[in-house]
Amino acid sequence: MIKFPIYLDSHSTTPVDPRVLKTMKPFLEEEFGNASSRFHLYGRRAAKAVEDAREMAADLIGASSAEEIIFTSGATESDNLALKGAAEMYRERGNHIITTAIEHKAVLDSCKALERKGYEVTCLKVDRQGLIDLEELRVAINDRTILISVMAANNEIGVLEDIGAIGRLAKERGVLFHTDAAQACGRIPLRVEELGIDLMSLSSHKMYGPKGVGALYVRKKNPRVRLVPLIDGGGHERGLRSGTLNVPGIAGFGAACALAKKEVPADSARLLSLRERLRKGLFDSLDSVFINGSMERRLACNLNVSFAYVEAESLLIELEKEIAVSSGAACMSANPEPSHVLKAIGVEEDLLHTSIRFGLHRFNTEEEIDFTVKRVAEAVRKIRAQSPIYGLTRGPAAAKENPAHTGREI
């Protein structure tokens, strides 16, 4: 039996895995100690839970030491600490930062804040697939470049950048490399040593853990990365992030990391099958359907689709009671402007407000996907039936003039 509404918005957040919740529960009840109060049993048990979680997070990403994991409130804070902390620490070495046009706002807005302080930021363009040109990155690096920040997987179109190649280039030029891996970690294998990553932002609630907790990987050797902290007071987390630790959240984050390490291969294969079932169903049921971003380099759980002649907001309202999806990044849901990601990959003006982001998760079923295809197709047809433009361009006469126009990949 299908439970409504069907949840297909896992890029904004994932449901907490019951096994994660089970791990957290004691630390919300009897094990309520402060991890910094190590003079009694309550505090020591809390501290052990934190250190266990640190080990699990380090193991997931292939860090050489658990000490390289700094717990934060989430990937937004981690992005801010990575960019602003590195920029201030290495100011004497240079003031140039390189990023891309499709980064999360936590990175782009941090870069804007740094520009106001006199730093120079190069924002690389992407192609229609959502990928940067590595040669353009190579040319952009100069003797004042201190940091490259490129996300591992895009939060809207799910496109995977060539992080390994970027890491190698950064190492060749002696530049630090940060990646926002909030959408990638727990969904694809990521090994920081192999990929040449110096700083990596992680988020618990994107990988079936609780909200309000994340981490920043900070390399300790080859090279040792140093940061100026954003938050002072108490010297927690190697002095990089002061404040009482969220023990229940961190314990849950650790459990989510351990589950991801074990289950990512099976999860990915299953989600890819469901994603392709969804994609094929939509393309078989409707014309004028457009895929945004590369299908070859993409998270298995992601499908970002534009339905021509259909305002995304109208479609979301039509689907609201039965299917939970979004039209883009959750952090931008109150912004009426078109997605900066879709604009950056060159989506045509008439399609900018027509995209829906489907984000599948490990608990979705084939029955849910089949219902989604059927219901989305019905809703799209209903909205298009009320559109005089669609009637003129997609009616019988139009079909004769352009019979091959049945959707394409961007």
Give the distance, in angstroms, between the CA of residue 221 and the centroid of all CA atoms in the same chain: 27
Amino acid at 374: K
> Bridge partners of 178?
149, 199
Question: Residue 213's closest CA among 11, 8, 13, 9?
Answer: 13
Round to whole Å and give the CA distance between 250 and 56.
11
Round to whole Å and give the CA distance between 61 and 54.
11
> What are the distances in angstroms from CA 201 to CA 80, 106, 129, 182?
10, 11, 24, 6
Q: Clarify whether 331 is annotated catalytic.
A: yes
Q: What string of DSSP letters covers 62-126? A: T-S-GGGEEEES-HHHHHHHHHHHHHHHTTTT--EEEEETTS-HHHHHHHHHHHHTT-EEEEE-B
Q: What is the DSSP letter of 228?
A: -
What are the tokens at 57? 């997070």
Q: What is the DSSP letter of 142?
A: -
Question: Residue 303's closest CA among 341, 344, 274, 323?
Answer: 274
Could you give the residue numbers annotated as active site? 331
